[in-house]
Chains A and B, each alone.
Chain A
Amino acid sequence: MTTFRKSLWLALIASTFAVGVAEARTLKWARSGDSLTLDPHAQNEGPTHTLSHQIYEPLIIRDHTGKQLPALATSWKVTSDPTVWEFKLRTGVKFHDGAEFDADDVVFSLERAMQPTSDMKGLLTSIEKVSKVDAHTVHIKTKAPNPLLPNNLGDLFMMDKGWSEKNNVTKVQDFKNKEENFAVRNANGTGAFMLVSREPDVKTVLKRNDNYWGKSEVPLEITEVVYTPIKADATRVAALLSGEVDFVQDLPVQDIERLRKDNKLRVNSGPENRTIFFGFNIGDKDLKSDNVEGKNPFADVRVRQAMNMVVNRQAIQRVVMRGESVPTGVIAPPFVNGWTKELDTPPAVDVAAAKKLMADAGYPNGFSVTLHCPNDRYVNDEAICQAAVGMWGQLGIKVNLVSQSKSIHFTLIQKQPPESDFYMLGWGVPTFDSDYIFSFLYHTRAGSRGSWNATRYTNPEVDTMIQSLSGETDLAKRNATIAKIWSILHKDVVYIPLHHQTLAYGMKSDLDIPVDVSNQPKLKMISFKRS
């Protein structure tokens, strides 16, 4: 064999080997809605963050169980000054365009996220100042001690300062301007995937970032991601069945059983970080939508207890949700700090006892009231309301159901004063701590607190305790306060918690993507099964 031939053979073998290693694995991924923008600070919304998580990275990331892992920060701690947090940044991290990631980018990104037009600013209100200590150390000074600051940073993505300045995107999109911001359809992050092309609502293509800092820590087996929103449920399922997509993020509940039986597919389901519940107007002297003159039946705790007791959560789970929900007695998913088994156990269904409570409260024949319900926000939201209306009917409570689009429904709740006496709502806890639930759903509506509390419930004792949580650095003491608040709220029956929503992911059987509690799967963690 001549040397030329030999080297040719060697080259050939080498090239086949190289192909074998760099095996191209494309993940075709579909869900019902698209990300709204690639600008990581413009929309605080689930699907938007999900896509951003593949391209951009926060300082601290959460895995699919909600556990915090270091991402662009390697360690973080409170300094001797309890109002200052110190973050040590990862070294040797590069943005997709090759620029170095350092403290300047962190300061820039957090300041950008705190701008008035940013949608992320609500998570950063406790921050007074972000400052650079050295190239890889950042100090965040809060207005008061904030022991849980890292909890708020899970979806706060880091942008490159240089890139942002060059492309004139140092400001978050202002909808008043009539121009599109460059960052809406372009991205330069540090994440495991790089943007190849983006057609909003149609298709987004990402490719693997071969220089990713964490490539030795995560499988990173997917080489290309093709992300397509498919709005119609039937079409999305059909695309999975026909093999046109590999991974469907939201399966309609009625199809889950059928897909489970298909041996070419896998369905993973698990609890989502979202609880569905009913709220009532407790505080007003008289209700507008009821037939009781001069009195508010919801103001009587016995009425609320009775209504809580007749809601048959098991039946709703079985019939309306086809088993895809977790009945509960508290507005906090199990992985949230403050959740306990006792709180989570819903009251036993007892119609006779409920009727007695109603009679004691002076409503033996019930009353009539209007229930507002969304019809395009939660899983089977309208059907749940219809089922519950029937259950309250057992007490003689005649509930008129008004189901509307979420754009109208949420306005009723957010208006001051709220325009609904009785409503359905769902709540997710991005900080994984009860404080978030208390502040938005239970605190008296004032300032930045209580914005989703349309119950008019106001309890000064509870309010003071809620306020004390944000500055309490002693975690044992803090948890004791949380438990105390929950016990008061539980006794007062401010809401009727119904169930934790469940998520179901459908995929080809060579994939095994675990359900992410925040419904934001991180694709770098996914590996294929070798067959």
Chain B
Amino acid sequence: MFAFAIRSLAQGVLVLVTVAFIAFSMFRFVGDPVVNMLGQEATQQDRQELTERLGLNDPWPIQFARFLGDAAQGEFGVSYRQGRKVSDLIKERLPATLELAVLSAIFATGLGVLLGVYAAINRTGILSNLIMSLSLIGVSLPTFLIGIGLIYIFAVELRWLPSFGRGEVVRLGWWSTGLLTESGRKSLILPVLTLGFFQLTLIMRLVRAEMLEVMRADFIRFARARGISDRSIELSHALRNTLIPVVTIAGLQLGSVIAFAIVTETVFQWPGLGALFVNAVQFADVPVMSAYLMFVAAVFVIVNLTVDLLYFILDPRLRSGRRVAKGH
């Protein structure tokens, strides 16, 4: 397992460098940051000077090499848009995104598994059918529409929940959390629902389908023959065997929830990394864009690694397979 982890890590680094390479080769098409950094009175000469100062005149392989060198030391430069250190910006925005993503993932996985199991066991019930029909909405409606719809109902019409921002946050060292204040918790509800809704329906439908599959398997029939109670079969035998693909999907989805909360963050003016990235793209703020893309790549590498490791715990065959291999 140790060798496996090392190999995965090495692959991870390779992925990071590749992402950085591709990202860098594309930045030229985002536009020229100098245009945004100088006022309209700037002369041709001012622009050339600034381009020179920023090192944007160098061929991009050189810029790329410089970026890699700095990144290896944890140095991502200064944001062209805000004049602040990119590492500070990311550190400042990370808690908002992580809080949102983790809560959405918990919401989606918890409720998704629950509803999925219910829909699988009571296949013909009215409630199950209702759940399944509703889940179609979650799969088919775009996130921003769900977000705006929720804002309209709960913020504008009912005025129960805020329409934007994080509310009051409490600082714990460099971390900031909205969970400790009432306005912070209220502010979390709509973005979490919006971000988690798609994942929820996805996981639910997956659990239901897998569960139905497993329930037809031989070992379930034998378990029934042994006289084990239905409840025990469903929850311990069947569910456990259902979980392997669910963990894979849920893990990958967590990665994309962290990385691509962009839409939800924009709709709710959520001060996270996604919103930071959107602003950076519009300004052609290369240092922030490159750091963000590296961050996203890192998240996916870590999540994948964790998912791989989780298989060992969930699937005894992988462990025994290794033992057998060792025995030879």
Contact = CB atoms under 8 A, between A and B. Distances in A.
Contact of B271 (A173, A177, A201, A243): A201
A42 interface: yes
Of B31, B84, B164, B283, most A-chain CB atoms within 10 Å? B164
A180 interface: yes
B41 interface: yes
B37 A119 contact: yes
Given A230-B164, A239-B163, A119 B38 contact: yes
B84 A242 contact: no
Contact of B83 (A120, A175, A229, A452): A175
A121 B43 CA distance: 10
Contacts of B276: 201
Given A39-B83, A175-B83, A201-B276, A411 B32 contact: yes
B39 A36 contact: no
A123 interface: yes
Contact of A244 (B31, B82, B164): B164
Q: Report the interface size class on chain B.
A: 35 or more
Interface in A380-434: 404-411, 414, 416, 428
B278 A36 contact: no
B80 interface: yes
A312 B122 CA distance: 64
A291 interface: no
Contact of A203 (B50, B53, B85, B165): B165
Contacts of B75: 178
Interface in B76-98: 77-78, 80-85, 88, 92
A404 B271 CA distance: 26
A43 B282 CA distance: 16
Nearest to B43: A448
A180 B271 contact: no
Interface stretch (B135-143, B206-214, B249-257, B261-269): B261-269
A218 to B, nearest CB: 28
A230 B45 CA distance: 35
Contacts of A416: 44
B49 interface: yes
Nearest to A203: B165
Interface in A480-506: none
A199 B148 CA distance: 25
Interface in A445-499: 445, 447-448, 451-452
B266 A175 contact: no
Contacts of B29: 408
B266 A231 contact: yes
Interface string B275-301: 110110011100000000000000000
Contacts of A119: 37-39, 42
B165 A410 contact: no
A42 B279 contact: no
A234 B31 CA distance: 27
B102 interface: no
Given A122-B42, A229-B269, A232-B269, A238 B83 contact: no
A241 B29 CA distance: 38
Interface string A23-47: 0000000000000110100111100
Of A376, A409, A451, most B-chain CB atoms within 10 Å? A451
B310 interface: no
A428 B40 CA distance: 9
B217 interface: no
A299 interface: no
A93 B47 CA distance: 37
A116 B163 CA distance: 43
A176 interface: yes
Interface string B11-50: 0000000000000000001111101111111111111011
Interface of A: 36-37, 39, 42-45, 116, 119-123, 173-181, 184-185, 199-203, 228-232, 234-236, 238-239, 241-244, 376, 404-411, 414, 416, 428, 440, 445, 447-448, 451-452
25 contacts: A36-B83, A37-B82, A119-B42, A177-B78, A179-B85, A180-B83, A180-B85, A184-B84, A199-B92, A200-B82, A201-B275, A231-B266, A231-B269, A232-B269, A234-B148, A235-B164, A242-B156, A406-B36, A407-B36, A408-B30, A408-B31, A409-B31, A411-B32, A445-B44, A451-B43
